[in-house]
């Protein structure tokens, strides 16, 4: 029976991946931080996966984690596409240095394949702190000498839970969603189940090294959110029109206040410009 390691196992994508792997008969080891052990137990306790308590930023805690492991699925990272530049050092510590720590363990253990979950943000302009660190981690994976698969993907969604849209979950529950300006910008997206299936297929990929991009046809914001809301709400959303000229100053003010109080901004001006250009 093949043994696999999943980092970020308790996350939105990770817990779905762990369940799918267990259903296919794989033995699964999950990297879990002790601070999040309660959440992991709640999300994965019934999967009978093995828990390894450690932290990507603590190389000593990873010692031996890849022993007897055939494939590593590296999902764990910190990141928000809306993060402004001051967040870069913190993202680099986890997304780049943490990935390098895991790679060293895989090299010493002779891991069969390293599957790295990157992002389209690694190749999109303008690069955010999240995108920059994903690109740097990709570079580390490529230079590792390990058999690898790098998976790039856009925003991930599912009808069972809000996932990456949890920031606006309160609006979805109320049945309304803001629509900025008259332009209907489209979002690149991918269903969680599609990503999980594609990543599992990487185990049997005949190529020693590959980089793959997975995404579905772009959808308008309202159309995508209605797909998501049908699961938790079972009803359609009502668009709330907001003029574009009034949004930029509001986003700018919230971004500045967020930095002042060391809170992640809901949206940045840079990200808003990018979305409006789609």
Q: Poorest-confidence range of 26-30, 71-75, 176-180?
A: 176-180
All domains of the chain in start order, with CATH = 3-157+186-218 (3.40.50.720)
What would the mean pLDDT of 18-45 be, rounded to a whole number? 88
Residue 105: pLDDT band with limits 50, 70, 90? very high
Q: Poorest-confidence range of 45-49, 56-60, 87-91, 199-203?
A: 45-49
Q: What is the pLDDT of residue 166?
A: 66
Q: Which long-range contacts (CB under 8 A, 24 or more apart) does 204-212 make?
A: 205/113, 205/149, 207/149, 208/147, 209/142, 209/147, 209/148, 209/149, 210/148, 210/149, 210/150, 211/138, 211/149, 211/150, 211/152, 212/149, 212/150, 212/151, 212/152
The 10s digit of each residue's pLDDT in 112-162 is 999 999 999 999 876 788 999 999 999 999 999 999 999 999 989 887 776
pTM of the entire predicted model: 0.85
Q: What is the pLDDT of residue 242?
A: 75
């Amino acid at each position: 029976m093949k043994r696999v390691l999943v980092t970020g196992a308790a996350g939105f994508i990770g817990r779905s991946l762990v369940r799918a792997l267990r259903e296919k008969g794989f033995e699964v080891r999950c990297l879990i931080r002790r601070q999040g052990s309660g959440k992991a137990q709640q999300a994965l306790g019934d999967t009978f996966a093995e828990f390894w308590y450690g932290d990507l930023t603590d190389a000593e805690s990873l010692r031996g984690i890849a022993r007897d492991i055939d494939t590593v699925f590296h999902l764990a990272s910190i990141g928000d596409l809306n993060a402004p530049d001051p967040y870069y050092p913190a993202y680099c510590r986890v997304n780049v240095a943490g990935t390098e720590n895991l790679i060293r363990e895989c090299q010493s253990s002779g891991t069969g394949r390293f599957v790295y979950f990157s992002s389209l943000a690694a190749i999109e302009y303008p690069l955010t702190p999240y995108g920059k660190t994903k690109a740097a981690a990709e570079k580390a994976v490529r230079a590792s000498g390990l058999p690898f698969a790098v998976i790039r993907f856009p925003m991930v969604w599912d009808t069972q839970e809000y996932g990456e849209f949890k920031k606006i979950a309160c609006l979805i529950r109320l049945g309304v969603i803001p629509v900025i300006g008259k332009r209907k910008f489209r979002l690149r997206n991918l269903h969680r189940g599609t990503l999980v299936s594609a990543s599992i297929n990487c185990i049997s990929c005949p190529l020693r090294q590959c980089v793959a991009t997975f995404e579905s046809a772009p959808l308008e914001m309202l159309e995508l959110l209605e797909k998501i809301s049908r699961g938790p709400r079972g009803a359609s959303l009502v668009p709330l029109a907001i003029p574009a000229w009034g949004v930029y100053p509001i986003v700018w003010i919230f971004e500045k206040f967020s930095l002042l109080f060391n809170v992640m901004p809901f949206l940045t001006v840079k990200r808003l410009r990018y979305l409006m250009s789609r």
